[in-house]
Structure 1
């Protein structure tokens, strides 16, 4: 029996660390608990009444569409208040279960007080609903429409486009495939769409008298209306059979049990504006008149609350917000809202959250402008903004107690928030951030710079945590303008710092560097050492993103000196982390680990859980550079647990993506399936993290190559290359090129493989990345081996080996030895090839690199066979097969071919075949 290289055996632990597996749903569903397919339909109307003929027509169109090669597009058209939206929403709910991939609702604002929604913004809304992150949404309208159609291709989605201004607004939102259905509501007849896109129109008129009476009976109560049948008919005519007016009139009756139907008719006929309800050619006025009538029936406190609601520009509001505007407790405000809901003047969207219909919002605002003075309106709006600012400041402190804020710093040492409180504050931000954006815009227009600054600063941490970069830039820009108007230099420093971070996260590095340097200069000029250090750390991280590691280290050294002056322990840990990443980029893993260990100690000392997770993730990557898989995986899994605990969605995606790659790197295909790697990629895309997406695409290309899907691996590698080149990440670009080179070599495209590995080598040298240089040298060695240039291959692999040993990369050392053993084999130096392969196997076993060990065992089998040691070849081949099977790989066919060669070389092969069979059953290898 042949001697075995150290670590060669049949057993071994195939699972290391915690298993990170995603099952079912979208990436955000499984890992982050975020929503899956969009379900955006507004709440259906309870006891919807009438429109039976129209719904039968819609049902017939849907049945006809099952045989059509193009999408069904239906436009419900009619005058304002005729019930187009109510009908569209009701029918959409009835058919929603046919659309497994979601239902989308877009308010196009065709005739609202606000400007009609441009197609570009509408497309952006829908793409975000389809889980396309903001960072991946193009600017050009044509590109937006193209991406929109691509995302909908083959999906069953119902799209409701409400209140269209005209064909120009709708046409870009029409999908290309037959799997979707589009439902449009519009006052316009949309002739252009009918002619060009074959849209089916369903005109909607006022309700027939019978259906109108049924609506009034349903809402107001059948006993009351049946007791006064003539008055009920007069009420229907007074409301012009207009569903919106009918619903409001009937709702007012339902909430006023002392009032008769005749009284309601008399009230409608009593005022000048209400007299517009009757003429059919003034139905626009009828809606306002119906609102007038409902509004006049409100108690004074409710009427005042309703007027305040017209001042809110955010999409929803809570009792707390309304209480602040009305100067009443939240409980009293909630009771007001429930009474307004009973009068059909507000809509409940979920527990303790409400919205106003757009027409009612305009009406309420008009009443406020007519009845309340400017100071009174300003006081209400300012109270709303102050309430939001106070609550947002508390929540922001909970999410990040260490961040510098506008105004005086809290006394004492910051303490990490309890997980329950942090989770509640995170949920509050998730529910309110759209309202916060609207309030910041309102305070900015009003010139309330103090509130604009407080709000912009308060939302920064949440937007940074969730990677809402575009919203962060918009908010911080308004904050910066407010600081400049006030001449508030400390606030300006903070706003510019926030803008620098937001721009960096969006990949706009020139803008990020501009703002960071401005913050640095202002800090230096005013003697703000902490502000200067914060700005320097941002500048260092911009250098890291550009793979400018020497520059990053120089900047962090200056920042660290400033941290010592200020005694800012949290800032010191952040600076040490940044310094560690600079050393890591230069493959100086010893100093990198020392700085990271110092940072970790500080993080734990001050209780900074988010920072601890960041440092653990960095240490995992240092161990990766050392080729130490068990330690890398251990630290990454610990980082992932912490990031999940605190709701750090971006950090969780980053660490999960790296863990999925570690499993691929180790060849553990059962644990790191292609499915999981693709999930990791979808997470990065869901975050809008372009840089993370580029690296995840590199990971995907490696996984596909391991599964012998080289064409797909090349496509993923090319996409990674485009992304990382655009972002200026030269280290990532080199990684993508090396992955491409490996796949191209397998497809025998050797010239292209050599060119890509050569470009990777140049890039790695230019940035001082010795790990990348060694990787590229190994890629070039394999290409030279495939070309038959054996001396060149030996030289390149030897240089890679020396560099790997210099930086302490054990896995890279094993890879270089594997390449050398193959070169020696081809040169006929079989003893040297065997010894080299033994060394490679020993290292692979030491670091638990199953894939690397399997690959070298394959080489050993071939070396043994060509040495005439057919029994030894059989043993190595079987070991490789068993190990590859354990890993879930696909290399069995190579060993079967080698068995065939061995049997053919041994005459009839009966002896060898018998031996191979015996080995499968009873052979136990000698372990080191």
Structure 2
């Protein structure tokens, strides 16, 4: 057992080296030896960078330490001869070793086997295995490493050797080898004069072979030495042995007595609860627990502790129990289990009570268990010393409840389950945290199938997935739902889903005859354990309508300080009632949120609840307005329903910070609009929605734009705000335009125009005319668009509204461009660009640069057009607008085509197309496909051109823009004509002419000319 006869073994129980093919391979340099030794001691576990640096430089690394560390690691990797053995991670390095790859791993395995043999009543085998383990030692552990490192880590390993030696001598004493042991024990007592175990073994050996006087003299020598060195008398167990010898009583066992009891009674506890029936999922969590177990030999100096934490009902105990049963063979000395009742209806188990249970499980008689907690803990650690056991501490409340129950032996593995994060424990111990998440939809379905049977759920796949969703994919809720269905075999899953949708889900999931095992009861115990500030914050979170929430929103809800809110959230996170979301936000599970809302309704009055939500909506409205002012939206003429809050409104420095906030808050803002409208905060509902109007367009959220403004329209009408109604009608009309419903768009906007004229509100009339003019562009009625825009510009000019005038002038410029009035378009768009630069509206400036490029392209000034497109691309990249960037990239493609540089043109078109499709912008996609098809046609690839032009026509039909549809028919005709399909081409040209001719656009004349030419050729 001492050496591998072939292959490689890493050796740290003596001089650090590598044993390869029966030869020692030296590791040169103390730093390389230290690095290798640390990785072996922590094998199969990530060793953090800081720990590596501390080991090499004793906490004082030089400035170049990181670079030097990589050099040393490279040297170690080369020595190992296996490129995959040493693995880097973001936080450190892991040395992957298989069982038996290090002498330390063999030592630990052999000592565990020896102790198991002793517990099973086979001292001969125990002596043999323990002797083999001890024979692996070739000198001081970690010899040749850095002095500070060896002093700490080597001492820990030496303790393991001494414990194994005591165990081997115990076995030999039981075998009657007293005389043979005396010489060895004399040497050990001289080497370890303060070790009462060796002294007691020597006394016992003397006494058993009739040399009682020498046994008594050993005690006197021990007492003298202890008093001189420590000022203390020998321990109780050595005194008791001395008294037994004086009384002539037979002496057996070893010192301390706890070790004798565990050996003589051969207690191998198996206390884990029964495995959870039909356990499903959690494969990744089980794998992580297995990895920690595989790394156990590397943890020679520290107990491996895993804390399984998570939301109530997430399945922490089920996972710990399943894993414990799965790895029974890895813990030959047994498994201890204690339920600490940290979140039960009664009082939590105290440290003294838990230690009592654990000691009884280890076979200690009731009358031998000490009264004091510290003495119980000492006895507990002594009993576990050198034993390979699993200790499961279930349902812990706080770190201080757990600390007295942690073994001192590194061979033990501790698994703790708790709703608390137990962060305090990680300060004093090396704790591996495993936070359980909800089951995936697939795992939830598997769980339901396992409990109910596949036959029960096979025919209702949709209802099963909906049931899982309503249970929040929470294992406890799923099992309760399955219990309800199991008790009623004729009840369909769909009918039970209907009940959950109709009733309070927490009540519907309760088991009437055993309500204490329900989801509500699980949440209630966690809630009761919270301090009052955290309880209040938890209740307020239940009122929040959104899917997640930020600190600032909680501050608004609670009307409290940021520090107090952060402290409360920290407590709730620690209790796993709240989880961290993305971008610094927080998430509350659906069922937890429902419970929080119940508590709010029970504990807080209606005015308190409504006041908190009013504060929140107030904050949302004014913060959204503050952000949108950087994104470029006109709020003139709108009187907000409240004054800005006195504090808490963030200051946005620029466009980027504003849009980041809007992106992060977007789902919560939509939920706020819906909740406010449903619960009669009508003013907040329509004003938050309207404030987001331009952002919907900017982010291409067309469906949300329509549905949110439909809600806003209902709210503003119930509020009786005619002025606001006109604004919402205009916004809703534009949203419908972008969704392809142009007639509905025009109807809404004409309603808005009528409202403004009836009220005699010139500003609103100008605003409505401008919106209507823009929508008429999409309808293809360019002349009418120009008339509306001209009238709107006149009104805005009289009112001195420069922003409104510039916005409508831009629409006017596009209408002129469509009709071929390039110089008029140029004057309009240049005027808009000047205003946008003056106002700092970077988003609109970026798009205006693109349109100005189109104008110069129509004038034949390709150089200026190219420069404008490039400016637009740069600015769009700065503001993060990929959609508008695609337009300008496509414009460069057109310029390159006109310059005869077709390969570059195709590259630009295709990049632009990918970005447009990525954003789901079918209008831009249609424009790009038309240009791509045209460029392909010029390269002679008629079939690819036809394919792209057909795709463009399909897109045009989807977006329902008549001008774009006419162009698509025209471009498709060109492709068909090039392929010799003249009749089909003429048919497409006729369709194009029918659409474009009434618009008065120049393309109509060109199409008519082409039709005459093709007809003449055909004749």
TM-score bracket for the superposition, by shorter chain length: 0.5 to 0.7
1:574 aligns to what? 807
User: Does the 8 A contact of 1:547 with 1:767 survive in 2?
Assistant: yes
Equivalent residue for 2:551, pick from 319, 322, 332 = 319
Task: Check the 8 A contact 1:721/1:733 in 2, yes or no.
Answer: yes
What SS is found at the alignment partner of 1:671? helix
* Matches of 1:598 and 1:344, distance apart in 2: 57
Distance 1:378 1:772, change over 3 A: same
Larger Rg: 2
Counterpart position of 1:404: 636
Quickly say closer, same or farther: Cα 1:218–1:534, change in 2 above 3 A. farther
Query: Out of 252, 258, 263, which is 2:397 matched to?
Result: 252
Distance 1:84 1:365 in 2: 31
- Secondary structure (helix, strand or coil) at the match of 1:398 reads coil
Match of 2:545, SS?
coil
Q: Which runs of 5+ in 2 are unaligned?
A: 1-275, 290-312, 327-334, 343-347, 362-390, 407-416, 419-508, 644-649
Q: Distance in 2 between matches of 1:456 and 1:333?
A: 28
| Structure 1 alignment gaps of length 5 or more | 1-80, 95-184, 188-203, 235-245, 266-276, 412-416, 790-928
> Which of 531, 550, 557 is the matching residue for 2:764?
531
Q: Give the corresponding residue for 1:392.
A: 624
Conservation of the 8 A alpha-carbon contact between 1:317 and 1:354: yes
Q: Post-superposition shift, 1:513?
A: 0.9
Deviation at 1:427, TM superposition (A): 0.4
Aligned equivalent of 2:357: 230
Q: Match for residue 745 of structure 2?
A: 512
Q: Output one character per residue of 1:695-735: Cα deviation in whole Å (capped at 9) or x when no partner.
A: 22212322433444433322221222133234443332232
Matched positions, count: 573
Could you tell me how far apart the structure 1 residues matched to 2:598 and 2:393 are?
18
Q: Aligned-pair distance for 1:526?
A: 1.8
- 1:512-545 Cα shifts (integer Å, max 9, x gaps): 1112111111111222222111211221122211
CA distance in 2, matches of 1:232, 1:279: 36
1:445 aligns with 2:572: no
| Aligned-partner Cα distance in 2 for 1:524–1:616 | 35
Query: How far did residue 665 of structure 1 move?
Result: 4.5
Residue 677 (str. 1) matches residue 909 (str. 2): yes
TM-score by length of 1: 0.55
1:752 aligns with 2:752: no
Structure-2 change in CA distance of 1:284 and 1:298 (3 Å): closer
- Given that residues 734 and 775 in structure 2 are in contact (C-alpha distance below 8 angstroms), is that contact kept between their aligned partners in structure 1? no
Question: Residues 608-644 of structure 1, C-alpha deviation per residue, up to 9 Å, x if partnerless?
Answer: 4334333322222222223332222222222233333
In the TM superposition, 1:663-702 aligns within 5 A as 663-674=896-907, 676-702=908-934
Structure 1 residues 635 and 295: CA distance shift in structure 2, 3 A: same
Secondary structure of residue in 1 paired with 2:586: strand
Deviation readout 1:865-924 (Å, 9 max, x if unpaired): xxxxxxxxxxxxxxxxxxxxxxxxxxxxxxxxxxxxxxxxxxxxxxxxxxxxxxxxxxxx
Pair 1:496-2:623 in alignment: no
Deviation at 1:746, TM superposition (A): 2.8
Per-residue CA deviation, residues 377-426 of structure 1 (Å, 9 max, x unaligned), is: 22222222222222112112222264436316999xxxxx9995221111
Match among 834, 837, 842 for residue 609 of structure 1: 842
Rate the CA distance shift 1:748–1:500 in 2: closer, same or farther, 3 A: same
Counterpart of 1:87?
282
Taking a change above 3 Å as real, the CA distance of residues 605 and 446 of structure 1, as seen in their structure-2 partners, is same
CA contact (8 A) 1:406 1:453 kept: no
Structure 2 vs 1, CA of residues 577 and 247 (structure 1 numbering), >3 Å: closer, same or farther? farther
Which residue is 1:598 aligned to? 831
Q: Secondary structure at the match of 1:250?
A: strand
CA displacement, residues 301-327 of structure 1 (integer Å, 9 cap, x when unaligned): 111111221222311112222222222
Where does residue 296 of structure 1 map in the other structure?
528
Q: 1:481 maps to what in 2?
A: 714
Aligned position for 2:658: 425
Compute the displacement of 1:769 (Å): 1.3
State the secondary structure of the residue aligned to 2:912.
helix
CA contact (8 A) 1:573 1:599 kept: yes
Query: 1:761, 1:285 → 2: CA distance?
Result: 73
SS of the aligned residue for 2:581 comes to strand
Q: TM-score, normalised by structure 2?
A: 0.50
2:973 matches 1:741: yes
Partner of 1:59: none
State the Cα deviation string for residues 412-454 of structure 1 (Å, max 9, x = none).
Answer: xxxxx99952211110110111011111111112211222233
Among 788, 794, 817, which residue is 1:561 paired with? Answer: 794
Q: Which residue of 1 aligns with 2:866?
A: 633
1:730-788 deviation line (CA, Å, top 9, x unaligned) = 3322322232223223322222223323433443323211145326635864x569x67
Distance 1:407 1:216 in 2: 63
Q: Output the CA distance in 2 between the equivalents of 1:91 and 1:677.
A: 50
Closer/same/farther in 2, CA of residues 89 and 428 from structure 1, 3 Å limit: farther
Contact 1:443 1:449 in 2 (8 A): yes
- Residue among 373, 377, 390 paired with 2:609: 377
Deviations 1:353-372 (A, max 9, x none): 11112221222222222222
Q: How many Å separate the matches in 2 of 1:279 and 1:765? A: 72
CA distance in 2, matches of 1:343, 1:403: 44
2:572 matched to 1:329?
A: no
The 1:511/1:784 distance shift into structure 2, 3 A limit, reads closer
Contact 2:847 2:872 in 1 (8 A): yes
Aligned equivalents of 2:693 and 2:393: distance in 1? 42
Shift of 1:282: 4.5
State how far apart, in whole Å, the 2-side matches of 1:288 and 1:311 are: 17
Q: 1-side partners of 2:925 and 2:864: how far apart?
A: 25
Counterpart Cα distance in 2 of 1:392 and 1:350: 20
Conservation of the 8 A alpha-carbon contact between 1:255 and 1:343: no
CA distance in 1, matches of 2:392, 2:518: 13
2:620 alignment partner, SS class: helix
Shift of 1:659: 3.2
Alpha-carbon distance in 1 for matches of 2:545, 2:757:
40
Distance 1:486 1:186 in 2: 44
The 2-side partners of 1:712 and 1:357 are apart by: 51
Residues 174-196 of structure 1, C-alpha deviations (whole Å, 9 max, x = no match): xxxxxxxxxxx999xxxxxxxxx
RMSD across aligned positions (CA): 4.5
> C-alpha distance in 1, partners of 2:773/2:623?
33
Question: What secondary structure is seen at the aligned counterpart in 1 of 2:902?
Answer: coil
Q: Equivalent residue for 1:107?
A: none
Could you say what secondary structure the match of 1:228 adopts?
helix
Counterpart-to-counterpart distance in 2, 1:83 and 1:422: 54
Q: Report the CA distance between 1:488 and its aligned residue.
A: 1.4
- 1:356–1:603 distance in 2 versus 1, CA, 3 Å: closer
> CA 1:317 to 1:630, structure 2 compared with 1: closer, same or farther past 3 Å?
same
Equivalent residues in 2 for 1:133-148 (5 A)?
Answer: none
Structure 1 pair 225/329, CA: closer, same or farther in 2 (3 Å)? same
Alpha carbons of 1:223 and 1:302: their partners in 2 closer, same or farther (altered >3 Å)? closer
**Cα displacement (A) at 1:562:** 1.1
Pair 332,205 (structure 1): closer, same or farther in 2 beyond 3 Å? closer
Mapping 1:807-818, distance limit 5 Å: none
Moved more, 681-690 or 420-429: 681-690
Measured at CA, do residues 463 and 361 of structure 1 come closer, stay the same or move farther in structure 2, by a change above 3 Å? Answer: same
Contact 1:745 1:753 in 2 (8 A): yes
Matches within 5 A, 1:82-121: 87=282, 90=285
- Is 2:780 the counterpart of 1:547? yes
